[in-house]
Amino acid sequence: MSESKSIVIAIDGPSASGKSTNARIISAKLGYIYVDTGAMYRTLAWYALNMGTDVTDMAAVEALCRDWPAKLVRRENNVWLEVDGYFPENEIRSSEVSKVVSYVAQVPYVREWMKEHQRSCVDFGNLVMEGRDITSNIFPETPHKFYLDASAGERQARRDADGIEEDLATRDQRDSTRKTAPLVVVEGATVINNSGESPEETSARIIALVEAQRQT
């Protein structure tokens, strides 16, 4: 990764906390590049399923990640991983992938591989990056750290509305207790509970906070 003056807005939070929706709105309004790091883990999970890899076997997942044909690609104002030139945009949102992605995400080598590639995204320009360890592990140096959350009921309703089958309680437990880069609220992060709030309201709050932070 080259030295960069790029601005990074880092957004963490559990599943269905509004990370992706708000990050997309913010990136569009500010003209920044949007990076969905969860989609990167989902892409590897999708690839593992296609290759018949046992996702509960950490050694097998590590071996797969060491040799998979993935490359960071910028398409307009998005950066994602393409596998042999293909981005499985719809496939990675399937219930099959949702059920196994947390297994892939807990493999230490996978997280290091992702960290290296995610940090290199600054070479594309200013970023709005969302995930589960952006503020703590990927860009801990950015002053623009946010942690989004919502009530359990609202989060489940959002998942159901998206047509995604996911056991949020199990996913939360795996994300917060994994040994490598667990989901945490870091010191200096602004916590926003957006229960009952529209994405437009939440994103406007974040943009206002970023602008205030940049003036200090």
Q: 121-132 pLDDT, tens per residue?
A: 999 999 999 999
Angle among Cα 160, 32, 210 to the nearest 5 degrees reads 85
Whole-angstrom distance, CA of residue 80 vs CA of residue 154: 28
**Is the pLDDT at 160 greater than 90, yes or no?**
no
pTM over 0.85: yes
CB 168 within 8 A of CB 152: yes
Which residues, including other chains, have CB under 8 Å from residue 133's CB and lie 6 or more apart? 12, 111, 181, 182, 183
pLDDT tens readout for residues 81-94: 999 999 999 999 99
User: Which single residue is written with the structure tokens 């667990």?
Assistant: 182
Alpha helices by DSSP H, 31-167: 37-50, 58-67, 95-105, 108-119, 152-161
CATH T-level topology, domain 8-215? Rossmann fold (3.40.50)
If you average pLDDT over every residue of the chain, what do you get? 94
**Is the pLDDT at 5 greater than 90, yes or no?**
no
Q: How high is the pLDDT of residue 202?
A: 98
Whole-angstrom distance, CA of residue 31 vs CA of residue 155: 28
**Is the pLDDT at 166 greater than 90, yes or no?**
no
